[in-house]
Amino acid sequence: MEPVGVAFAALGTADLCLRYGNELVERYRVFKHAETILHDLFLRVENCWLKMKIQIEFLRSIWNTIDEQLRVHQNEILHRLEGKLCDAISTIIRAVETEKQSGTFPSQRVKIKRLSFAAFLNDRLRKTIQELQDWHSAFDPSWWIIIRISNPQVDQQLIQQPQSSGVTQPLSQLKRLRHAVSSEAEATDFRQSVFINSTVLCGERKPLPYSSLLSAQGSETKSGKLVDQMRPGKLGAPLTSIKDVRDLARVLSRVEPFTFALLSCDGVIKIYDPSGALVGFDFVFTIPDHLQNPRSLREILLTPPQAAPLNERFTLASLLSRSVFFIHASHFVHKSIRPDNVIVLQDASCQLGTPFLVGFNRFRMDTAITHRFGDDNWERNIYRHPQRQGIAPDEDFSMQHDIYSLGVVLLEIGLNTSFTWPKWRDDGCVEWIPNTDIGLMGIVELDSPSRAGSLKRKFVKMAREKLPSLMGHKYTQVVVSCLTCLDKDNDGFGDEREFEDEDGLLVGVRFIEKVLTQLHDISL
Query: pLDDT, tens digit, for every residue of 329-385?
Result: 999 999 999 999 999 999 888 888 999 999 998 888 876 666 666 677 888 889 998
Average pLDDT of the chain is: 85
Torsion over CA: 239, 243, 246, 251 (sign):
negative
Write out 165-215 in H/E/C secondary structure: CHHHHHHHHHHHHHHHHCCCCCHHHCCCCCECCHHHEEEEEEECCCCCCEE
Q: pLDDT, tens digit, for every residue of 107-150?
A: 444 444 556 677 878 888 899 999 999 999 999 999 999 999 98
Q: Of 202-206, 357-361, 494-498, 511-515, which range is least confident?
A: 494-498
Mean pLDDT of 502-519: 89
**Which positions ≥6 away from 364 have C-beta within 8 Å?**
240, 244, 332, 333, 335, 370, 397
- CA 324 vs. chain centroid, Å, equals 6
Percent of the chain with pLDDT over 70: 83
Helices (H), 330-418: 378-381, 399-415
Torsion sign over Cα 374, 380, 386, 390 = positive
AA identity, residue 496: E
* pLDDT, mean of residues 458-484: 96
DSSP string, 403-421: HHHHHHHHHHHHHTS-SEE
Q: What number of other Cβ atoms are within 10 A of residue 81's Cβ?
A: 23
Res 336: pLDDT: 92
pTM, entire model: 0.90
Higher pLDDT, 4 or 78: 78
Higher pLDDT, 97 or 467: 467
Q: Are 516 and 524 in contact (CB under 8 A)?
A: no
User: Do residues 294 and 214 touch, judged by C-beta distance below 8 A?
Assistant: no
Q: Residue range 292-297: average pLDDT?
A: 95
Torsion angle of alpha carbons 126, 129, 130, 133, nearest 10°? -170
The pLDDT-based confidence of 427 (bands split at 50, 70, 90) is confident
Cα-Cα end-to-end distance for the chain: 34
Average pLDDT (202-219) is 92
C-alpha 154: how far from chain center: 22
Q: Which residue has the higher pLDDT, 105 or 303?
A: 303
Strands (E) in 219-258, as ranges, are 224-230
- Which tens digit of pLDDT belongs to each residue from 222-241? 789 999 999 876 545 667 78
DSSP state of 513: I
Identify residue 266 by its one-letter amino acid code.
D
Question: Within 10 A of 18 (CB to CB), how many other CB atoms are there?
Answer: 19
**485-493: average pLDDT:** 81
Q: What is the pLDDT of residue 468?
A: 97
What is the model's pLDDT at position 115? 62
Displacement of CA 56 from its chain's centroid (Å): 21
